[in-house]
Amino acid sequence: MTDNELIWRIAGGSGDGIDSTSQNFAKALMRSGLHVFTHRHYPSRIRGGHTYVEVRAKDEDVQSRGDGYNFLLALGDSFARNPQDEAYYGKEELKPLYENFDDLREGGVLLYDEGLLDEEDVDEIGLEAAAEENGWHVVPMDLRGIAKEHGREIMRNTAGIGATAAILDIGTEEFEELIKQNMAGDMQEANLDVLQDAYDAASELDIDHGIEVPEGSHDEEQVILSGSNAISYGALDEGCRFISGYPMTPWTDVFTIMSQHLPEFGGISEQVEDEIAAAALALGASHMGVKSMSGSSGGGFALMSEPLGLAEMTETPVVLVEAMRAGPSTGMPTKPEQADLEHVLYTSQGDSARVVFAPANIRECYTQTRSAFRIAYEYQIPAIVIYDQKIQGELRNMPASHFDEEPNADPGSVLTEGEIEEAAHHASGKFKRFLYEPEDGSNVSPRSVPGQKDGRYLATGNEHNEEGHISEDPDNRIAQIERRLNKLDDIRADLDENASHQTYYGPEAADYGVLVWGSQQDTAFEAVDRLNENGHSVKALGVSDMAPYPVEEVSEWLDSVDQALVVEMNATAQFRGLTQKEIGKYGDKLSSLLKYNGNPFEPAEIVDGFESSINGEDLAATNMTYLPTAGD
């Protein structure tokens, strides 16, 4: 547990405004000078069901969700279905209260809306005993009553913010400012009244608790945004002006953001009949010279397998994003997991030739999406950004200057008409689109686009000769498949030179290693700090390049440690398997800490998992599984 931090959790039903309220709360704290990070938990339904968001705030960079939380604002679920039918539903509106007992820290504050949650019912769920045992400060307030007095019941969340501000003594200035920015007229006035009334009412209660909200300041202007924002902005800044998709959680977020902004950026968004069409459209637009993307989550991405293979075979550049959720099949639509790695690496028939990046955090969502576009269009290859529901939905502050970058709309290795005139053509006049040995000595054979004079060629999913015509000649086959696969070596060299996506963390000389990929990287880094504070000698390597795999970097790092624990959110240790397959050794050095219950790791869990593994202790009582080394 870390001192000097606020972890504020707001819990209610889907539709109670939990998400928007938490966003405003986080933004207000950021504006007040703090660093913030949010963690979002929600069910797959439109109304009702228990949902919560945590806002973690400190006076220094926050890179992960915390361990538990110290302030609960339980609004209760105002959309609870059929509360009279106890036999089946029980006290559903109480879920946002009692389902949150587990992680509330000792001495924490529990503020709930007694306007919605009946006092007798609350008694029945054992709040009093739990509060006594944990030293919680329970604060019942009629937030609903305050909301209804000035406006509508939905403003309970504003009342909750006002009460929170009073109890934590953080003032209402930033919240007022946000209400004024986001709302107008009667709505604004009513919310301001609700905020003030709840603040005043809570101030009178004079709750004596030990939570101290830190004070901080920022050296430069900050922004707060999500991984979905950052992926979308990376695409736009890299000149992407076409997206096609079909809704699926959690990918829908990127699709929505792109669709909202593409018209003003002069681009086109297409919502289509299925994911096969979605990927196929992106290829069609790219074939014409437009920088294009599509994406989906697990099941939808499965439908993209065949177009993905077509992109590999025809060397049509495209960027796909895959927002993982817990599988298999429909799985748990709103819960994160890292179990689609093998799916994304290997789906589609034949030897795969693709690029896969797994960004660690929101900043990397921006930079690595830009990398994906640059590589895809320069090397004429599909590039995939794989992320998960965790990064998609979490918010984090960062300097605005991170995005102060020049756009790059270069369509990559496409010839001008003048260059086509000079380029190699078949005697029939067809442009040699797929040269065995491109002139610059690379494996990339430059392309033309329809409309360019004398650039016509055939793109086909069949094996083809230099002009693109179908060929099953063995020598041609070897030349073309090797050239396509050798592009991956060119890309590895390019990445090593221009943009290492790997992150090294902790003391270089450490004995133990934590190897981690994608969205769990920053959480693992916080755990590494604590392990070193606990007297262990640990460092971490966060890997984002899934393909082409950074064999040299990871090998060197693994050489430098005695043992390494691979931390990932799946049940079959997919990244560890990939690492062993790519490097071909270290089987006796790698053990795994796995979590697959639908929730991302907390830093303390990794600390526990690490310490248990080196002490040979059982993890059976936890949410995690330990998988020992396998030997070489």
Q: Each residue of 420-438: b (16+ CB within 10 Å) or e? A: beebebeeeebbbbbbbeb
Contact between 429 and other proteins by CB under 8 A: the answer reads yes
Pairing of strands 624-627, 590-595: antiparallel
In the DSSP assignment, the letter for residue 404 is -
* Binder among 196, 249, 256, 460 for other proteins (CB under 8 A): 460
Enter the tokens of residue 58. Answer: 């400190």
**Which residue, 6 or 414, has its beta carbon nearer to other proteins?**
414
**Which residue, 14 or 369, has its beta carbon nearer to other proteins?**
369
Contact between 38 and other proteins by CB under 8 A: the answer reads no
CB of 623 closer than 8 Å to CB of 605: yes
Distance CA 603, CA 66 (A): 7
**Which residue, 460 or 502, has its beta carbon nearer to other proteins?**
460
**Minimum CB–partner distance for residue 117 and other proteins (Å):** 34
* Binder among 114, 142, 270, 529 for other proteins (CB under 8 A): 270
Helix axes 18-31, 156-168, angle to 10 degrees: 40
The sheet carrying 137-141 orders its strands as: 137-141, 104-113, 69-76, 6-14, 48-58, 35-41, 395-399, 222-226
| Listed ranges 113-121, 426-434, 489-497, 605-613: which one lies at the site for other proteins (CB under 8 A) | 426-434
Contact between 273 and other proteins by CB under 8 A: the answer reads yes
Enter the tokens of residue 302. Answer: 């499965």
| Listed ranges 81-89, 103-111, 404-412, 510-518: which one lies at the site for other proteins (CB under 8 A) | 404-412
| Listed ranges 89-97, 106-114, 323-331, 454-462: which one lies at the site for other proteins (CB under 8 A) | 454-462
Select from 250, 306, 312, 254 the least CA-distant residue to 279: 306
Distance CA 312, CA 461 (A): 9
CB of 517 closer than 8 Å to CB of 546: yes
Contact between 430 and other proteins by CB under 8 A: the answer reads yes
* Binder among 380, 452, 521, 592 for other proteins (CB under 8 A): 452
Strand, coil or helix: what is 455?
coil
| Listed ranges 53-61, 135-143, 150-158, 220-228: which one lies at the site for other proteins (CB under 8 A) | 220-228
Contact between 451 and other proteins by CB under 8 A: the answer reads yes
Contact between 138 and other proteins by CB under 8 A: the answer reads no
Which residues between 43 and 62 bind other proteins (CB under 8 A)? Answer: none
Judged by CB under 8 A, the number of residues near other proteins is 80
Contact between 269 and other proteins by CB under 8 A: the answer reads yes
Enter the tokens of residue 529. Answer: 């700090």
Tokens 């913030």, residue located: 36
Contact between 284 and other proteins by CB under 8 A: the answer reads yes
Contact between 289 and other proteins by CB under 8 A: the answer reads yes
Taking phi over 0 as left and psi of -120 to 50 as alpha, with beta for the rest, 616 belongs to left
Side chain identity at 208, as an amino acid letter? D
**Minimum CB–partner distance for residue 398 and other proteins (Å):** 10
**Which residue, 170 or 303, has its beta carbon nearer to other proteins?**
303
Contact between 371 and other proteins by CB under 8 A: the answer reads no
Contact between 225 and other proteins by CB under 8 A: the answer reads yes
* Binder among 79, 101, 403, 436 for other proteins (CB under 8 A): 403
| Listed ranges 94-102, 381-389, 428-436, 537-545: which one lies at the site for other proteins (CB under 8 A) | 428-436
* Binder among 427, 509, 620, 621 for other proteins (CB under 8 A): 427
Strand, coil or helix: what is 113?
strand
Side chain identity at 566, as an amino acid letter? V
* Binder among 116, 236, 491, 538 for other proteins (CB under 8 A): 236
Distance CA 149, CA 607 (A): 48
Tokens 């959110």, residue located: 569
Which residues between 238 and 267 bind other proteins (CB under 8 A)? Answer: 239, 241-242, 244, 261-267
Cross-strand partners of 425: 431
Distance CA 115, CA 102 (A): 24
* Binder among 20, 82, 330, 416 for other proteins (CB under 8 A): 416
CB of 199 closer than 8 Å to CB of 166: yes
* Binder among 81, 209, 363, 469 for other proteins (CB under 8 A): 469
* Binder among 61, 124, 132, 274 for other proteins (CB under 8 A): 274
Contact between 37 and other proteins by CB under 8 A: the answer reads no
Enter the tokens of residue 457. Answer: 């060629």
Cis peptide before 336 (omega within 30 of 0): no
What Å distances lie between residue 212 and 7, 58, 102, 136, CA to CA?
A: 11, 10, 22, 15
CB of 583 closer than 8 Å to CB of 555: yes
Enter the tokens of residue 175. Answer: 């919240």
| Listed ranges 39-47, 59-67, 221-229, 561-569: which one lies at the site for other proteins (CB under 8 A) | 221-229
Contact between 443 and other proteins by CB under 8 A: the answer reads no
| Listed ranges 65-73, 77-85, 275-283, 334-342: which one lies at the site for other proteins (CB under 8 A) | 275-283
Contact between 582 and other proteins by CB under 8 A: the answer reads no
What's the CA angle centered on 492, arms 296 and 553, to 5 degrees? 100
Contact between 363 and other proteins by CB under 8 A: the answer reads no
Contact between 233 and other proteins by CB under 8 A: the answer reads yes
**Minimum CB–partner distance for residue 392 and other proteins (Å):** 16
* Binder among 298, 307, 333, 542 for other proteins (CB under 8 A): 307
* Binder among 43, 140, 214, 461 for other proteins (CB under 8 A): 461
Contact between 518 and other proteins by CB under 8 A: the answer reads no
Contact between 424 and other proteins by CB under 8 A: the answer reads no
